[in-house]
Chains A and B, each alone.
Chain A
Amino acid sequence: MRRIGITTTIPAEFIFAAGMAPVDLNNIFIVDAAPAGMLERAERDGLPRAVCGWIKGMYGAALAAGVESIIAVSDGDCSHTRSLIEILEMEGVTPVPFAYPYDRDYALLKRQMEKLAAYLNIGFTDAEEMMKRMDVIRKKLHRIDEMTWRENTVTGMENHLYLVSASDMDGDMDRFGRKVDAFLAEAAAREPFPRGIRLAYIGVPPIFTDIYQFLESRGARVVFNEVQRQFTFPFDTTDLVERYRRYTYPYDVFSRVHDIEAELARRDIDGVIHYVQSFCHHQMEDVVFRKHLAGIPLLTVEGDAPGPLDARTRLRIESFCEMLGGRRRKTAS
Chain B
Amino acid sequence: MKTLGIDVGSRYVKLAGFDGDELLFTDKLDSIAFYTLCRHAGKVDISRLPVLSEKGFVRERVASTGYGRYNVKIEGSAVISEIKAHALGAVRQTGLSDFTLLDLGGQDTKVVRIRNGEVDDFVMNDKCAAGSGRYLENIATILGITPEELGRHTAKPLQLSATCAIFGESEVIGAVAEGAEIVHICAGANLSVAQRLVPLARRYASEKYVVTGGVAYNGGVLKFLGEKLGAELVVPRYPIFNGAIGCALEAAVVHA
Chain A residues engaging chain B, CB cutoff 8 angstroms: 278, 297, 300, 302, 304, 310-312, 315-316, 318-320, 322-323, 326, 330
Closest 4 CB pairs of A and B: A319-B83, A319-B81, A323-B119, A322-B81
Given A302-B127, A323-B121, answer yes or no on A311-B67 (Cβ-Cβ < 8 Å).
yes
Q: Are B127 and A315 in contact (CB under 8 A)?
A: no
Q: Are B81 and A315 in contact (CB under 8 A)?
A: yes
Contacting A at CB under 8 A, from B117-170, are: 118-122, 124, 126-127
Q: Which B residue's beta carbon lies closest to that of A301?
A: B126
For the complex, give the distance between the alpha carbons of A297 and B112 in Å: 13
Chain B residues engaging chain A, CB cutoff 8 angstroms: 67, 80-84, 108, 118-122, 124, 126-127
Among A300, A311, A312, A318, the residue within 8 A (CB) of B81 is: A318
Contacts of A302 in B (CB 8 A): 126-127
Most A CB within 10 A of own CB, among B81, B82, B83, B84: B81
Q: Are B84 and A322 in contact (CB under 8 A)?
A: yes
Contacts of B124 in A (CB 8 A): 312, 316
Q: Are A297 and B81 in contact (CB under 8 A)?
A: no
For the complex, give the distance between the alpha carbons of A315 and B120 in Å: 17
For the complex, give the distance between the alpha carbons of A322 and B82 in Å: 11
Contacts of B122 in A (CB 8 A): 319-320, 323
Contacts of B81 in A (CB 8 A): 315, 318-319, 322
Q: Are A300 and B67 in contact (CB under 8 A)?
A: no
- Secondary structure of the B side of the interface? mixed
Given A319-B83, A319-B84, A322-B83, answer yes or no on A312-B121 (Cβ-Cβ < 8 Å).
no
For the complex, give the distance between the alpha carbons of A119 and B81 in Å: 56
For the complex, give the distance between the alpha carbons of A202 and B83 in Å: 23
Q: Are A323 and B127 in contact (CB under 8 A)?
A: no
Contacts of B126 in A (CB 8 A): 300, 302, 312
For the complex, give the distance between the alpha carbons of A26 and B119 in Å: 38
Q: Are A315 and B84 in contact (CB under 8 A)?
A: no
Q: List 20 A-B contacts (CB under 8 A).
A: A302-B126, A311-B67, A312-B108, A312-B126, A315-B67, A315-B82, A316-B124, A318-B81, A319-B81, A320-B122, A322-B80, A322-B81, A322-B83, A322-B119, A323-B83, A323-B119, A323-B120, A323-B121, A323-B122, A326-B118
A279 to chain B, nearest CB (A): 12
Contacts of B119 in A (CB 8 A): 322-323, 326
Most B CB within 10 A of own CB, among A304, A310, A322, A330: A322
For the complex, give the distance between the alpha carbons of A118 and B121 in Å: 53
Q: Which A residue's beta carbon lies closest to that of B118?
A: A326
Given A319-B122, A323-B122, A326-B118, answer yes or no on A312-B127 (Cβ-Cβ < 8 Å).
yes
For the complex, give the distance between the alpha carbons of A318 and B120 in Å: 15
Most B CB within 10 A of own CB, among A304, A310, A315, A319: A319
For the complex, give the distance between the alpha carbons of A322 and B108 in Å: 19
B226 to chain A, nearest CB (A): 25
Contacts of B80 in A (CB 8 A): 322
For the complex, give the distance between the alpha carbons of A300 and B127 in Å: 12
Contacts of A322 in B (CB 8 A): 80-81, 83-84, 119
Contacts of B118 in A (CB 8 A): 326, 330
Contacts of B108 in A (CB 8 A): 312
A286 to chain B, nearest CB (A): 10
Q: Which B residue's beta carbon lies closest to that of A300?
A: B126
Q: Which B residue's beta carbon lies closest to that of A320?
A: B122
Known: A310-B127, A320-B122, A322-B80. 15 other contacts (CB 8 A): A302-B126, A302-B127, A304-B127, A311-B67, A312-B124, A316-B124, A318-B81, A319-B81, A319-B82, A322-B81, A322-B83, A323-B119, A323-B121, A326-B118, A326-B119
A218 to chain B, nearest CB (A): 10
Contacts of A320 in B (CB 8 A): 122
B114 to chain A, nearest CB (A): 11
For the complex, give the distance between the alpha carbons of A261 and B122 in Å: 22
